[in-house]
């Protein structure tokens, strides 16, 4: 071989130009790495999903006639010591006397650093780095849209992307349907009569027993419920089936119930969400293809209105590309941000779901069961709770990065530290996503069967979110009071008597002091 081409677990893009031609002189390397499996404690289903997807991709490449070296955890240890990615790459190159190594642009800063150090250190080798050919926005264009430590609004970026890529446009400048954003039509609650219609999620049944055994053999720590039948898509064919299923059964109601939460059906965990994030993030499927297929379904199907398709396209063309830009332009600073100086520890029920707060136990419980929660559960249930209780952003990041099947730092960190914790002081969000129990009640049926009373602010049965919300708002009044999007909320606080205010803040103090008992 004259060239070694390295693929990471999140670079399983069969449409990449690397694979257009077969070349007997090229060896592809895909390796299960100990450091990647352990840099955070991952959900066991996430580990299985990545390893199965990598293994399947290696097999598919080989079937297509490419030469592949697939190394399992068994083979990426020397003696008893786990090898770094660099050690694995260099030893495979040496073994085959290869002197030219090709890499794809990684999505994570950590890996980019690793690559740069390797390239600077290695002697007698040449390297080249190519685009991963996945995102719509080319990597080199990121600085044209984003500036470090500066707030860039998603909505502005999204409109530019719609125009640049001519997606859902009527002509060059105007949005299809006359409006750029149908967010206000995306906030319906699921009523009792809506529950029966929620489609069963399309789940796969991949045999993961051999991966589980390997994880066990190497003592890889994990969280969450292990399942020898993995339900996540791990091949391109799976991803395409999931996309078809979404377009046919879920897209017609996607926007409408995008923010809704329920615990009253067996499909509460999935609802109308696509669950394509894992397949997208490891690049089994590309965002352009997902957007194209969903727009075609909208054009062909009268059941899908503009508010549904726009809501979906906004997530992928807008949010997903936007957080990637915000990540890269702000790394490594992003990982240091703690604007609200949050210093508490994450409560222990984040690892068990064992709390009396029904919203939290539902969102955490399903995350442990499925390695998945949808956006509003992540943002407004667990995220909101962590922000109101001032949990250290490092710990919050670590939890999100570990537990979700789709969690990779480039997308996890801006969403968690930025959007959900406001630790970046508003680079991403124009205001903190802080909410009391009334938001949870408005968007879900969680409160009805909760130990706590959502209407109460004080007393031992009062929903903790109510007093914690006011405690947070009062504490950060100086910072937030001037914000035009929330300043007026303080009028409601000022109307309360001193005794009422004191009682609410006392209840909040009690909750903070007894965080692990809530």
List of long-range contacts for 14-20, beta carbons under 8 Å, 24+ apart: 14/57, 14/60, 14/236, 14/284, 15/133, 15/286, 16/104, 16/132, 16/133, 17/133, 18/102, 18/130, 19/61, 19/64, 19/66
Measuring CA to CA, which residue among 175, 207, 223 is closest to residue 399?
223
Counting beta carbons within 10 angstroms of the beta carbon of residue 197, is it exposed (0 to 12), middle (13 to 18) or buried (19 or more)?
exposed
What is the SS3 assignment for 487?
coil
Among 8, 73, 363, 419, binds ligand FAD (CB under 6 A): 419
What is the SS3 assignment for 262?
coil
Among 407, 434, 447, 468, binds ligand FAD (CB under 6 A): 407
Which of 57, 319 has the CB closer to ligand FAD? 319
| Least Å from the CB of residue 36 to ligand FAD | 15
CA distance 496 to 164: 50
| Least Å from the CB of residue 443 to ligand FAD | 14
Which of 19, 433 has the CB closer to ligand FAD? 433
Assigned token pair, 279: 């397949």
CA distance 160 to 107: 22
Which of 68, 347 has the CB closer to ligand FAD? 347
Which of 76, 420 has the CB closer to ligand FAD? 420
Among 186, 294, 416, 466, binds ligand FAD (CB under 6 A): 416
Helix (H) or strand (E) holding 4: strand 3-7
Assigned token pair, 329: 């332009």
Among 41, 45, 277, 335, binds ligand FAD (CB under 6 A): 277
Give the orientation angle of helix 464-475 with respect to helix 498-513, to 10 degrees.
110
* CA triple 138-236-3, angle to 5 deg: 60
Which of 363, 454 has the CB closer to ligand FAD? 363
| Least Å from the CB of residue 235 to ligand FAD | 17
| Least Å from the CB of residue 358 to ligand FAD | 20
- Please give the residues from 303 up to 362 whose contact with ligand FAD meets the rule CB under 6 A: 315-316, 319-320, 323
Which of 378, 507 has the CB closer to ligand FAD? 378
| Least Å from the CB of residue 512 to ligand FAD | 21
| Least Å from the CB of residue 178 to ligand FAD | 24
Please tell me the chain's helix, strand, coil percentages from 3-state DSSP, rounded to the nearest 5.
Answer: 50, 10, 40
Which of 227, 409 has the CB closer to ligand FAD? 409
Q: What is the CA radius of gyration of the chain?
A: 24
Only one residue has tokens 């694979």, namely 19
Scanning 36-44, 166-174, 412-420, 503-511 for contacts with ligand FAD by CB under 6 A, the matching segment is: 412-420
When asked if residue 428 is in the footprint of ligand FAD (CB under 6 A), the reply is no
- What is the β-pairing status of strands 67-71 and 169-170? unpaired
Query: How many binding residues for ligand FAD (CB under 6 A)?
Result: 27
DSSP category for residue 318: I
Assigned token pair, 330: 């702000």
Scanning 135-143, 299-307, 353-361, 407-415 for contacts with ligand FAD by CB under 6 A, the matching segment is: 407-415
Which of 137, 407 has the CB closer to ligand FAD? 407
Which of 71, 412 has the CB closer to ligand FAD? 412
CA distance 32 to 27: 17
Among 66, 134, 273, 507, binds ligand FAD (CB under 6 A): 273
| Least Å from the CB of residue 286 to ligand FAD | 11
Give the orientation angle of helix 287-300 with respect to helix 306-313, to 10 degrees.
180
| Least Å from the CB of residue 299 to ligand FAD | 19
Among 105, 253, 274, 308, binds ligand FAD (CB under 6 A): 274
- Please give the residues from 366 up to 395 whose contact with ligand FAD meets the rule CB under 6 A: 374-375, 378-379, 383
| Least Å from the CB of residue 323 to ligand FAD | 5
207 with 250: CB under 8 angstroms? no
Residues of the shown chain interacting with ligand FAD in the complex, contacts defined by CB under 6 A: 273-277, 280-281, 315-316, 319-320, 323, 374-375, 378-379, 383, 400, 404, 406-407, 411-412, 415-416, 419-420
């Amino acid at each position: 071989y004259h060239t070694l081409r390295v693929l990471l677990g999140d670079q399983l893009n069969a449409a990449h130009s690397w694979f257009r031609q077969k070349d007997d002189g090229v060896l592809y390397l895909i390796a299960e790495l100990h450091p990647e499996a352990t840099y955070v404690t991952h959900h066991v289903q996430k580990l299985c999903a990545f390893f199965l997807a990598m293994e399947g991709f290696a097999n598919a490449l080989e079937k297509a006639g490419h030469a592949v070296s697939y190394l399992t955890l068994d083979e990426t240890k020397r003696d008893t010591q786990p090898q770094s990615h660099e050690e694995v790459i260099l030893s495979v190159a040496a073994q085959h006397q290869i002197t030219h190594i090709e890499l794809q642009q990684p999505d994570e800063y950590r890996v980019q650093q690793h690559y740069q150090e390797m390239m600077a250190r290695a002697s007698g080798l040449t390297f080249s780095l190519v685009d991963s050919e996945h995102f719509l926005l080319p990597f080199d264009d990121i600085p044209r849209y984003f500036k470090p430590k500066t707030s860039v609004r998603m909505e502005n970026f999204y409109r530019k992307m719609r125009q640049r890529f001519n997606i859902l446009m009527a002509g060059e400048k105007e949005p299809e349907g006359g409006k750029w954003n149908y967010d206000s039509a995306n906030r319906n609650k699921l009523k009792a009569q809506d529950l029966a219609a929620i489609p069963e999620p399309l789940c796969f049944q991949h045999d993961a027993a051999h991966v589980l055994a390997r994880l066990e053999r190497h003592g890889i720590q994990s969280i969450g419920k292990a399942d020898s039948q993995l339900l996540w898509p791990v091949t391109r064919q799976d991803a395409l089936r999931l996309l078809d299923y979404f377009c046919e059964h879920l897209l017609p109601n996607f926007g409408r119930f995008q923010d809704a939460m329920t615990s009253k059906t067996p499909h509460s965990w999935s609802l109308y969400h696509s669950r394509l994030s894992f397949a997208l993030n490891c690049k089994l499927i590309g965002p352009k293809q997902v957007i194209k297929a969903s727009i075609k379904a909208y054009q062909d199907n009268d059941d899908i209105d503009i508010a549904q398709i726009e809501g979906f396209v906004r997530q992928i063309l807008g949010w997903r590309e936007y957080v990637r830009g915000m990540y890269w332009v702000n790394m490594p600073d992003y990982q240091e941000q703690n604007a609200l100086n949050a210093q508490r520890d994450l409560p222990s029920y984040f690892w068990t779901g064992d709390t009396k707060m029904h919203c939290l136990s539902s969102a955490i419980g399903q995350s442990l069961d499925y390695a998945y929660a949808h956006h509003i559960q992540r943002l407004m249930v667990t995220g909101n709770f962590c922000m109101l209780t001032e949990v250290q952003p490092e710990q919050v990041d670590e939890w999100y990065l570990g537990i979700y099947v789709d969690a990779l730092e480039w997308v996890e960190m801006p969403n968690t530290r930025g959007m959900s914790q406001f630790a970046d002081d508003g680079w991403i969000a124009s205001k903190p996503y802080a909410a009391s129990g009334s938001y949870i009640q408005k968007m879900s049926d969680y409160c009805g069967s909760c130990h706590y009373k959502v209407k109460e602010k004080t007393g031992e049965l009062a929903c903790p979110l109510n007093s914690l919300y006011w405690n947070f708002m009062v504490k950060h009044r100086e910072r937030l009071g001037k914000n035009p999007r929330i300043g007026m909320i303080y009028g409601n606080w000022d109307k309360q008597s001193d005794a009422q205010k004191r009682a609410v803040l006392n209840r909040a103090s009690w909750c903070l002091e007894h965080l692990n008992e809530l």
